Amino acid sequence: MGNDIMKKLPTISLIIPPSLFLLDERVFMTLGILKVAAVLEQKGYPLEVLDLSGIENYEEAIRDHCQATSSRIFGLTSTTPQMPAANKIARVIKAELPFSRVILGGPHVTLVQTAYKKEKQDGVEGRATKAFRDLEEIFDVLLSGDGEEAIFEAIGDNPPKLVDANDRRSPLFLLNADLEELPFPARHLVDVSSYHYTIEGRPAMSIIAQLGCPFECGFCGGRQSPMLRGVRTRSSESILREMRKMYEDYGVTAFMFYDDELNVNPKMVELMEGIVKLQKDLGTDFRLRGFVKAELFNDRQAEVMVRAGFRWLLTGFESGSPRILTNINKKANREQNTRCVEIAKRHGLKVKALMSIGHPGESEETVLETRNWLLEVKPDDFDVTIITTYPGTPYYDYAVKDPQREGVWAYTYEKTGDRLYSYEVDYNVVADYYKGNPDGGYKSYVFTDHLSADRLVALRDFVERDVRDRLGIPFNPAGSSVRYEHSMGQFGKALPSHILRTSHPDLTASRIAAQ
């Protein structure tokens, strides 16, 4: 039966681009594309999944894959910082296989299409329109929003240029009931053993229990995107089944919850109690880590999270300055942020404080307020990043051209009149705005009325070094990239298993036989 299916259905190659801007790329596997892989596999499509995370010479790997594969349909996922690599991958595929179809899905195209849709509604052609047109030139099909149902339109005969699943009125938009029925991510189609994230010394894997965030932070992507703006959940039973499967398949007892904010789910306490029971049923104990919203956090949540196995919380406090917290539209104030840390410490939970600078109205004073707040609350870890105005964020979508400066856009927070300026960035080419080496290596594409881009970088580096030194928090060590090697002759043109996995043994056999 397997051979008959393979004759009827085309082979699909799904590609995870490298994240060359990260210190260590083999930390968390990309679950979105593995959810798409799972539904394709469920329908019987033969799959090849290329995981290029951490691969330095990824263009060479793609070129060799194109020479060996029978696939003519390639699906890429990409965040905004991954776009330079995704762009190069698409161009290699088109050079090697001119009549292939290259599909782009994932967060970047979803955010750009959302911003583009707003410009169309407003009757303007701005930078989002240009960004969307650039994507149309590079890729054959653009898939915006949820990919699990939309992928079948993208791989079908004569697909549209845009498959828009980022619309609540579309049958492709996933509802809670759909999430409940979908298969779990096809983690077996990547080399799980090559990922090395740990929690409290235990090998850990990531899980997503819910989608979306209802808050309206000015710097955050997807505030206008239906798939990212609203919270969509599945039942506690479904989440527990996935955790049980991960334990049974991989022996994993540590889990990173990659939900935006765990405690926006009104059934979070119920889920935690279920995790407690699951550990008893399995005769083991878990170690967990995840994100919480500061002003929603309370003692009851903390107590049950500890019993469930949580030892670390991450919270986007963002700033220690009351003015900046207002300008961000964060909803949480400085006192609520402090209270969140106090609750966590009272229950023995460690806190990683996620901070950012470069917001509207940022000044030397507000940056120092952030530094002083960190020294006051003494988190167990932290990072400080410089804001980037991504497509799909209010900072991007509501900015206007600065009449005084060419290539500069200005966003104004209406309640205070504070401004943020951003330089034009071609996200298909540039990624050095993103998080770099925490001990230097940042580049800013934003500035304010009070701080230049260079001064923001200098202040970020100062806060990072000074707070770590005073609190005794070491810098996170950098990871290392890996080169794909075929010249030694041990693989021929077949990519090694840490890069390429297939859903059907006949695919691997046919590739080897072709060498």
Nearest Cα neighbor of 192 from 233, 139, 250 is 250
Note whether 295 and 331 are within 8 A (CB): yes
Q: 371: burial class by Cβ within 10 Å (0-12, 13-18, 19+)?
A: buried
What pLDDT score does 1 carry? 44
Q: What is the chain's Cα-based Rg?
A: 23
State the amino acid at position 132 in one-letter form. Answer: F
Quote the CATH superfamily of domain 197-471: tm_1862 like domain (3.80.30.20)
Domain ranges of the chain: 2-182+485-513, 197-471
Note whether 17 and 10 are within 8 A (CB): no
Nearest Cα neighbor of 408 from 425, 426, 421 is 421
Q: DSSP assignment, residue 482?
A: B
What pLDDT score does 176 carry? 82
pLDDT tens digit sequence for 139-186: 999 999 999 999 999 999 999 999 999 888 889 888 888 889 999 999
pLDDT at residue 99 tops 60? yes
Lowest-pLDDT choice from 129-133, 362-366, 507-511: 507-511
- Give the Å distances, CA to CA, from 398 to 106, 216, 259, 276, 465: 23, 13, 26, 45, 34
Cα of 474 vs its chain's centroid, Å? 25
What pLDDT score does 221 carry? 62
Cα of 29 vs its chain's centroid, Å? 10
Where is pLDDT greater, at 463 or 429? 463
Given pLDDT bands bounded at 50, 70 and 90, which one contains residue 26?
confident
Residue 202's φ and ψ, nearest 5 degrees, are -100, 140
Given pLDDT bands bounded at 50, 70 and 90, which one contains residue 431?
low
pLDDT at residue 486 tops 60? no
What pLDDT score does 233 carry? 84
Average pLDDT, the chain: 87
Shared fold status for 2-182+485-513 and 197-471: no
Note whether 206 and 184 are within 8 A (CB): no
Q: Which run of H or E residues covers position 513?
A: helix 505-513
Q: How many other β-carbons are positioned within 10 Å of the β-carbon of residue 214?
A: 12
Instruction: Scan for tokens 């983690």, then name that residue.
Output: 187
Note whether 445 and 469 are within 8 A (CB): no
pLDDT tens digit sequence for 447-467: 999 999 999 999 999 999 999
Q: DSSP assignment, residue 321?
A: -
Where is pLDDT greater, at 440 or 321? 321
What pLDDT score does 374 carry? 98
Q: 497: burial class by Cβ within 10 Å (0-12, 13-18, 19+)?
A: middle
Nearest Cα neighbor of 13 from 514, 495, 417 is 495
Give the full edge-to-edge strand order of the sheet including 141-145: 162-165, 141-145, 101-105, 73-77, 12-16, 47-51, 500-502
Q: How far apart are CA 309 and CA 296, in angstroms?
A: 20
State which of 251-260, 365-374, 479-488 shows the largest mean pLDDT: 365-374
pLDDT at residue 514 tops 50? no
pLDDT tens digit sequence for 31-43: 999 999 999 999 9
Cα of 176 vs its chain's centroid, Å? 21
Of the candidate CATH numbers 3.40.50.1100, 3.40.50.280, 3.90.930.12, 3.40.50.720, the domain formed by 2-182+485-513 belongs to 3.40.50.280
CA atoms within 13 A on the CB side of 404: 2
What pLDDT score does 506 carry? 58
pLDDT tens digit sequence for 302-343: 999 999 999 999 999 999 999 999 999 888 899 999 999 999
Q: How far apart are CA 142 and CA 110, in angstroms?
A: 9
Note whether 81 and 47 are within 8 A (CB): no
Give the full edge-to-edge strand order of the sheet including 381-386: 198-199, 202-207, 254-257, 287-291, 310-318, 350-357, 381-386
- Give the Å distances, CA to CA, from 260 to 161, 265, 495: 30, 10, 35
Partners of 409 in the β-ladder? 401, 422
Q: At what angle do helices 127-138 and 83-96 cross, to 10 degrees?
A: 30
